[in-house]
Amino acid sequence: MNKYVKIILIIIIVGIVCGGGGIIYVFFKPHRNLAKEKPSFTLTASELLKQFGAREDSAYKVYGDKALQVNGKIADITKKGNDITFVLEDQNSGVSCSFDSTYCVVNKAIIDGLKSGDEVNLKGKCDGYDPIMGVVLTRCVLVEKK
């Protein structure tokens, strides 16, 4: 009898550990950190726009979900609370680079110091392209200001 109690206890403990591990994995798996990720491609904002403009489907296959490092001139800045977006090169349909709000809070001083016309180097995750928005990069981090 004692033996069975032991086995049952072991099963329960293993169950708790595995289940707990699973829950921890689901809730605490970290998001991609673009600051630490090596870019899959490094290119200029104009080059990226040109490729998506010419062949959206094939460009999406190449760049979709990849970490891109782009270089370009800020054409427009939109601020909405702690969400900040830089649009590079073309104000109407350029490369739209959004920072996470936590990133904006931590790096407020640097981001607030940037203005239209500045040339920047950014890293972000490519979500795709739309004629109204242009190429969309999210989870962006600033690499450097030229």
Nearest CB to another protein, comparing residues 140 and 142:
140
- Which pair of tokens denotes residue 131? 């004629």
Q: What is the DSSP string of 93-134?
A: TSEEEE--HHHHHHTHHHHHT--TT-EEEEEEEEEEEETTTE
Please give the full DSSP string across 16-68, using - where no structure is assigned: HHHHHHHHHHHHHPPPP-TTTSPPSEEEEHHHHHHHHHH-HHHHHHHHTT-EE
Instruction: Mark the segment that binds another protein (CB under 8 A) among 2-10, 67-75, 116-124, 126-134.
Output: 126-134
Decide: is 32 part of the binding site for another protein (CB under 8 A). yes
User: Cα torsion at 21, 22, 28, 32 (round to 10°)?
Assistant: 120
- Round to whole Å and give the CA distance between 131 and 110: 30
- Residue 64 within binding range of another protein, rule CB under 8 A: yes
Residue 138 as a binder of another protein (CB under 8 A): the answer is yes
Q: Does 65 bind another protein (CB under 8 A)?
A: yes
Looking at 7-15, 36-44, 58-66, 109-117, which segment touches another protein (CB under 8 A)? 58-66
Question: Pattern of binders to another protein over 71-110, x per CB under 8 A?
Answer: -------x-x--x-x----------x-x------------
Residues forming contacts to another protein in the complex (CB under 8 A) are 25-27, 29-32, 60, 64-65, 78, 80, 83, 85, 96, 98, 125, 127-130, 132-133, 136, 138
